[in-house]
Each structure stands twice: as structure tokens, then as C-alpha cells.
Chain A
Amino acid sequence: MDLKDLYQEIILDHGKNPRNLGKFDNYNKDAKGNNPLCGDNVHVYLRLNENKKVEDIAFEGHGCAISMASASIMTDMVRGKEEKEVKEIVTDFLGMIKEKDSLETNILKDDEKTKLMSLSGVKQYPMRVKCATLSWHTLTSALDNSDQIVKTEE
């Protein structure tokens, strides 16, 4: 194990200065996610337009460097993508964090994949995997609760 794999410069950067942090007014989908074990929480807001494209996305919440960086990179990556593409990226990312060595989707460009792969260091730290995946599960939950604002928790 090497801490440098976990805390790469890009993670520290996104962890410290998360992109898309905050809430915007005209979102039409959102979901909350939390991690009861450690108290991390995240609230993902997004706006899908009539063509099912993610027009805007942001998140609120607090957590460790890994979870904040993951949410930050995720929101950057799915903006402008279609719902179907977003789901493919989520599945690919979760698969990579769990078992696969690389990302397979053709939707992401190579530099985007490199960015996402910076999170792969958590594989060596099983207790930290949930930090990296929380915002992604929350994004899925936001997308699935279409048409109305449904929260994953009360």
C-alpha cells in the first residue's frame, strides 16, 4: 500500500477545492446520500433537459478528501452527458472501484478516464471504498426518481 496512490495531487486538489459545490435554483432532480458509519453526507442536484441531457449538476455535503474529490470529479464529468451515458459512466466507475483494472466505456475521453482512475487507489483501502462511491450511488438515485423529488432518506 502506498499513501501516494490514495492521495494523489488531483484528489488533494479536488478535495480541497471541490468543483460544483453548492446548490442551484432550477434543478429538477436530486437525492441525498449518507454514510451512517462515518457521518459523511452528500446531496446531488441536477437539471435534466427535455432531451434527457444533464444541463447542470452540483452537490452539497461534507466528507473526507476522497468523497469530496469523487463528487467533484463526478459532477465535472457528467455535465453535458445524456442520462443513458451518465448511467453507463456510473456503472463503469463502480465496476472499476470494485474489481476491474480499467474503465471500459467509450463515452469518456482518455484524459477524463485518467482523472477518474486517480480514485482507483481506494481499492487498497476497503474501508474507504464507500467514501469514493457515495456520490455516485446518490447520482443514480437522483436519476431514478424521475419526475419528482424523491429522497433516498427521510
Chain B
Amino acid sequence: MNIDDIKREFPIFDDKIQNNDLVYLDSANSSQKPRVVVDRIYDFYTKEFSNVGRSVHYLAVAATNLYEQTRVSVQKYINAKDKDEIVFTKGATEAINLVANTFGQKYLSEGDEVLLTELEHHSNYVPWHFLRKAKNIKIEFAEINNDGEVTLEAIEKKITNKTKIISVSHLSNVTGAILPIKEIVQLAHSKNIPVLIDGCQGAPHLKLDMQEIDCDFYAISGHKMYGPTGIGVLYAKKKWLEDLPPYQGGGGMINEVKKEGITYGELPNKYEAGTMATAQVIAFNESIKFMEKIGIQNIEKHEKELLDYGLEKLRKNNSVNIIGNPKEKGGVISFTIEGVHPHDIATILDEDGVAIRAGHHCCQILHDKLNLPATARASFGVYNTKDDIDKLDEAINKCKKIFNL
């Protein structure tokens, strides 16, 4: 694959940003959007717009078909058994909240345990914390090791006969560690414990096969997969979606509404209350097609090359300290520079058009464990090149110079 050609498909790189060529190294936060996705939103609103699933006029039927086509595309992309196992949400955050809320309502009571890991994003902790407050459940954290990984053994150590659900990240947005999710699911299932995978960082970068992973739930963020904001996916095995109560109430999710009672709609409508992010869902289909066209294996290979190159380059740069050293690692490099706070790094890099993130990356538990208030993070997408990493390295040198290092 030719990265220059791929990069040209992203309009954001057409123009200078603050007089610089954009070196975008913040894809773990949110990816840039290819033209096909942007155009699809415009075309839908200008030529095809209607609400979906309600009216019978031509536009409504056509829009409904488009909306449902994305569901089928996602189903095929992640190899789900049934299209009804695909629920659209406003993001991965809502997908996790949906599971925590409905599963918690039905299956969790005082003293029950939910098992997370120390490297979870806040979106895979706070929804469970709500249950801790409301139902007095306990939250356990599987520990990271010195390399910033969570091993199968670390998970096993924290499983008790009170563990009711395990919810873990596929790929850490800080250390880049890829968790052994298949093995975690096998282990959990041998003890009859369902597993939710937070796939925010997994879905954009790794091959997904729900039959192979066999997890019960998998949360996906659209905007990290070259798609629009405001769209996410919850994959859930059909048995769960049929079994669990609805999440939000409103139009579209009902079957019959009477003064004396209400029955709920069939899947997938049961979990899609109100008017959904229609244009975004329809445009998300283009993101899937875009990734399919390149091929996830090619994306993985490219990002691995970037990662290896980046790690080699930054390891040679004195005073740069790379956070974590996982054996299986995605395209994320978190680092600190001795004597320069990450926010100062980010501001100085930005001056040269190098966009990174600084802070705790919504992982305060992990940063507490690492005893670091903040880190700087460069993360890759399909449009990044080795040249971007060279520019990152140069900008880091400029940073050191300003701080007299």
C-alpha cells in the first residue's frame, strides 16, 4: 500500500495548520477522516435526508436501508453471527454504560465483584463505579506488570467466586499493551463469567473476529476508526441482548405502549431509543469500507513498522523515557522527558505542527500506579509516515533545547 496515496484521501492534510505541515500523532484520541466519510455526511444531508425506521415515504425507506446497511457492514467486519448483535450507540462510552447499566440492574447485587484492570480508560471504570455507589458492588483491578502489560495470570489472580463480569481493554491507550483477550475470555467462560472488551483502541488497529474472540460484549468507537464522532457500536451476543433489560426508553424501542403497560421492541430496536445519529451511522459505513479497502492486515503491518521505527528512534534520544515495554504492543508511544512536563512538551511540539496528547489520557488509575501525574503520547494511524516520527524526534530535541537539557 502506498501511504502517500492514502494520506491524500484525508483532506485535513491538504492545507497547512498554523503554517506547518500537520504531523498528526493523536489518533488514539481520535483519528482524522477520509474524504469519503466527510462527503457521505454532506451527501446524505443534502440529497437523502430523512429520519429512519418510522415513516413510509421514499426518503424514509431509503434512509432506513442505508442505516441498516451499516449494521450489516459492521456485522461482517467483526464477524458477528447476526446483524441484530450490532447496536449503535453514541460511542464506546455509551456502549460500556449500556452493559454496566443493564447487566448491573439484572445480575449484580451487594458484594458481587466486577473485575477490571489497572490500565482501563475511565470509560471502563466510571460506569462500574456508579454500580458500586448504587448497589454496593466491589470493583477489583488486575495489576499491570513492570512492562505495562496485564497478563492472563494477573486476571486469574483476581477472579473469585464473587466475580460476575470481567471488563478489560483490548489495547491500552497508554502503554499500547495488547491484552490476551481470547485467553481471558476462555478462562472467564470456564468459570461462567461473561466478558466485555473495551475495543476503542483495538478496533481501529487489529483484526476483529467475534467468533474467534468469543467475548460476550465488545465496545467500538467510530471516531477512532476514521469515522464520524457521535457513533459507536456495542457488539453483544444475541442471548444477552434478548436477556438484558432495555437501556434508554423512548421512541423506536417499543412494541406497544398502553396506559397500563409497555412492551419493548425486537432487536436491535430495543436498544436504539430516540432518533439515532443517522448521518453518522450511514457515513460510518464508508469508514468500514475504507478500512476494508486497505485491509486490516496492511494497517497492522504499517503501524507495527512505525512503532518499531519510533521506539528505536526515541530510545536513542537521551532523556526520553518510554512508558511500558509490552511484548504485544499497538501503535502508541507514551513517554516523558526528564525535566520537562508533558504539557510543556505538547505545547512546544505543537509549534512545529506535531500534534500529540499530554495528560493522563483518561487513565488516572494507571498513572497513579506508574507514579506519574502525566505523560506525553504519540499515537499512530494509517496516514502516518516515518517522516512524521523524524519530525517528532526533532521537535523533542527543540524541547530539550528550550529547557536547557
Q: Are A125 and B347 in contact (CB under 8 A)?
A: yes
Q: Provide the bound-state CA to CA distance between A136 and B355, in Å.
A: 29
Closest 5 CB pairs of A and B: A64-B341, A64-B343, A39-B360, A38-B359, A39-B373
B56 within 8 A of A: no
The 8 Å CB contact of A39, one of B347, B364, B403, is B364
Which of A1, A3, A128 is close to B343, meaning CB atoms less than 8 Å apart? Answer: A128
Also in contact, A64 and B344, with CB within 8 A (given A3-B351, A38-B374, A39-B374)? yes
Residue of A nearest to B398 (CB): A3
The answer, yes or no, to whether A108 is at the interface (CB within 8 Å) is: no
Chain B residues with CB under 8 A of A128:
343, 347
Determine the chain A residues whose CB is within 8 A of the CB of B403 once the complex forms: 7, 12, 16, 65
Chain A residues within 8 Å of B364, by CB:
39
Contact of B351 among A1, A65, A127 (CB under 8 A): A1
Q: A64-B341, A65-B344 are in contact. Are A38 and B358 (CB under 8 A)?
A: yes
Known: A38-B358, A38-B360, A39-B374. A65 touches B348 (CB 8 A): no
Interface residues on chain A, size class: 20 to 34
B348 to chain A, nearest CB (A): 6
**CB-contact partner of A40 in B351, B373, B404, under 8 A:** B373
Interface residues of B (CB under 8 A from A): 18, 339-344, 347-348, 351, 358-360, 364, 367, 373-374, 402-404
| Contact digits for A14-35, partner B, Cβ 8 Å, 1 yes 0 no | 0110000000000000000000
A45 to chain B, nearest CB (A): 20
Grouping DSSP codes into helix (H, G, I), strand (E, B) and loop, the B interface class, with mixed when no group exceeds half, is mixed
By the criterion CB–CB under 8 Å, are B402 and A7 in contact? yes
Which of A6, A37, A40, A41 lies in contact with B347, CB distance below 8 A?
A: A6
- Interface residue? A100 (CB, 8 A): no
Q: Give the shortest distance, in Å, between B46 (CB) and chain A (any CB).
A: 33
Contact across chains for B344 and A66 when beta carbons are under 8 A apart: yes
A41–B340 Cα gap in the complex (Å)?
16
Closest A-chain residue to B360, C-beta based? A39
Residues of chain B within 8 A (CB-CB) of A7 are 344, 348, 402-403
Distance in angstroms from B368 CB to nearest chain A CB is: 10
Q: In the docked arrangement, what's the CA distance between A69 and B367, Å?
A: 23
A41 contact set on B, CB distance < 8 A: 373
Which residues from chain B contact A3 at a C-beta distance below 8 Å? Answer: 347-348, 351, 402
List B contacts of A40 (CB < 8 A).
Answer: 343, 373-374
The contact of A12 among B18, B342, B359, B404, by CB within 8 Å, is B404
Say yes or no: is A44 at the interface (Cβ < 8 Å to chain B).
Answer: no
A7 to B404, CA, bound (A): 11
Q: Which residue in chain B gives the minimum CB-CB distance to A11?
A: B344
Chain B residue numbers with a CB within 8 Å of A65 are 340-341, 344, 403
A-B contact pairs, 27 of them (CB 8 A): A1-B351, A3-B347, A3-B348, A3-B402, A6-B347, A7-B344, A7-B348, A7-B403, A12-B402, A15-B341, A16-B339, A37-B359, A38-B358, A38-B359, A38-B360, A39-B360, A39-B373, A39-B374, A63-B341, A63-B373, A64-B342, A64-B343, A64-B344, A65-B340, A65-B403, A66-B344, A68-B341
